[in-house]
Amino acid sequence: MEDNHTVMDTTLEQLVGSLKDTPGALLPILHRIQDQFGYVPDRALPIIAKALRCTTADVHGVISFYHHFRRSQPGRHLLEVCRAEACQARGAREFERHVKERLRIGFDQTTADGEFTLKAVYCLGNCATGPSLRQGDRVLSRMNPERFDRLVEDLTTYKLELK
Ligand code: FES
């Protein structure tokens, strides 16, 4: 019976099928899945394992090794806080503390309303004007609690997408 077979499964099977014969197929497959869905869903693991003739534990091991891969659906807005040295010298630790308190989540978590996912990154190439934060494709400079609160307010109240 195919009762539990979903549209997502069909998409995953097609996607995995199109890449399974490429050399070192696992990473390209995982990247493509994350590009498509925003994360690597649990149901992708057996599909990948079957196609590549390995175990789901093998697939899980690779996903866990690369922090780039997300295991749950991200929030509507991805916020990435720089934790590297130059930003730390400019107050990134205090900024990070504020971000976590304001959103009430830690790194690699998503707010209960599904609006924000918080990630740590290590240098955004914006060292001279840190603390730096990336929101979507945009890197914001000289972040502080006030600027962050305004950003959150804009994104949640007005549903603005900053580019
Ligand atoms: S150290 Fe934060 S942007 Fe480079």
pLDDT tens, per residue, the chain with 163 residues: 445 789 999 999 999 999 999 999 999 999 999 999 989 999 999 999 999 999 999 999 999 999 889 888 889 999 999 999 999 999 999 999 999 999 999 998 999 999 999 999 999 999 999 999 999 889 999 999 999 999 999 998 765 454 4
Q: Which of 80, 119, 123, 141 to mutate to test the pocket of ligand 1 (most atoms within 8 A of CB)?
A: 123
pLDDT of residue 163: 44
pLDDT score at 5: 87
Q: Is 38 helix (H, G, I), strand (E, B) or coil?
A: coil
Residue 123 Cα: closest atom of ligand 1: 4
Query: Tokens for 148?
Result: 């962050």
CA of 131 to the centre of ligand 1 (A): 7
pLDDT for residue 38: 87
Supply the pLDDT for residue 3: 59
Q: Which residues of 46-59 are buried (b: 16+ CB within 10 A; e: fewer)?
A: ebbbebbeeeeeeb
86 neighbors 130 (Cβ within 8 angstroms): yes
Task: Give the pLDDT score at 158.
Answer: 60
Strand 109-110 vs strand 133-135: parallel, antiparallel, or unpaired?
A: unpaired
The Å distance, Cα 107 to ligand 1 centre, comes to 17
CA 74 to ligand 1 centroid distance, Å: 23
Determine the residue of 119, 121, 127, 140 to mutate for testing ligand 1's pocket, defined as the one with the most ligand atoms within 8 A of the Cβ atom: 127
- Residue 122 alpha carbon to ligand 1 centre in Å: 7
Helix (H) or strand (E) holding 124: none
Q: pTM higher than 0.85 for the full model?
A: no
Which residues' Cβ are closer than 6 Å to ligand 1? 82, 84-87, 123-124, 126-127, 130, 132
Long-range CB contacts (within 8 A, 24+) of 36-39: 36/11, 37/8, 37/73, 38/70, 38/73, 38/74, 39/69, 39/70, 39/71, 39/72, 39/73, 39/74
